[in-house]
Structure 1
């Protein structure tokens, strides 16, 4: 098997890239909610929304490929199919959940996926997770649970959809990490979106309805934002362990709250601030812990 030259480890850059990816991902969910709740015209089915995500992401990435003319070298098709299947499932479930429950709740529940990814990294990637990472993951998990507001009516059908999205996207993290050491990031993006487009097209044909002009624009926005999120996240995974990168994706919770406030006028309450504070504390612990060995190496 041919391996691409390794990319130098850079936990700080990986953290920045993951936070950027989370901002873009939260934007896709915001647009999906508008499409699924009739804010931009007749409601679109989540399967059609996820199809738009893959369609326009593929168009954006293939346009770049036409200019760059990258060489495609020995793709690991099994890993690509696995990654694309779990990715399509996670995106579709998340878009469906956003139409049933508040955006902040859907995001909070679905982004238990970093914990799933960290746990799966132990048997499938052979990563060793020390007490600091376990502790930070536990803090982040508690923050997510606070934001879910157990007992406040969140655990309904929409919440179950969001939980399914978390499990699916957590499994996708493992496939991304396995691919990151074998193939170049752009090749991974191109093949993933091609396979995802095929899967989502087959599913969308069952529920298709012609979108309005505003809906087409929103679908295009979802695709472009998701392509940007994928680019940032895959490059982050190539520069640090999955167990380090994954918890930073919890920042999507903060971006979702910000978008809620700016677009829908929904402001975080005390519970939201407590949950977000726990998540950010966990991320700060990870950054501090990863930076210590590098600081000690400086003359």
Structure 2
């Protein structure tokens, strides 16, 4: 199948090396990972120039193999015992007032990595007590204890992405599930009703407008407060192809509809990602 050219509205400048080198140096010197790099985020130059990054905890190898994701799949290594302090030091050096912590899936660990989220949050607060922390967690297989462990650490926002519509979930996500993601978000609200929850979809997998709206209704039904909508971009020829490029006007319309439906904060645009301008979203 021939590769379709990228529309102009999904092309992003790679940025100036001088704007990104400071963040890259801090990250690489400590052997840390960011989803900006591992996931080939189109906004990484912009975010790096603003001295921000989304930290990818527990290494760069995931136990899942989602068809849309660029992160390497395989058998992860041992956890780095110094990772919490390294991340906290990086947050301090970059002067971050808002930080997003995400991770690879670690189905190989007894607590599926939930404890590492807590350790990193504690380390950040020791060094940077004024920094707000948002988490973007895997599904933890729906384990209530794992979710409760992270919730108890009191992030300012708990994000878990549903990624796509119900019909396409098995093909896109493989090792996860639509209902499972809804259950994660519902569990967070049961444990902490006042904790902001957030989820996101990547459009372009072949979903219909009606299916997108159905998904938004399902998210609202489990108490989801914040929403991100962005365009899926195929990271390599080995990954799931893009079925359709939604236009900027369609993203604007969907964002308006989502707000009217009841989401408290919405980011909707071709290059929007889960943690894109997350701090500003929390202030809306």
Greater strand share, structure number: 2
Higher RCO (C-alpha 8 Å, min separation 6): 1
Question: Does TM-score exceed 0.5, indicating one fold?
Answer: no
Name the TM-score, length of structure 1 as normaliser.
0.29
Name the TM-score, length of structure 2 as normaliser.
0.30
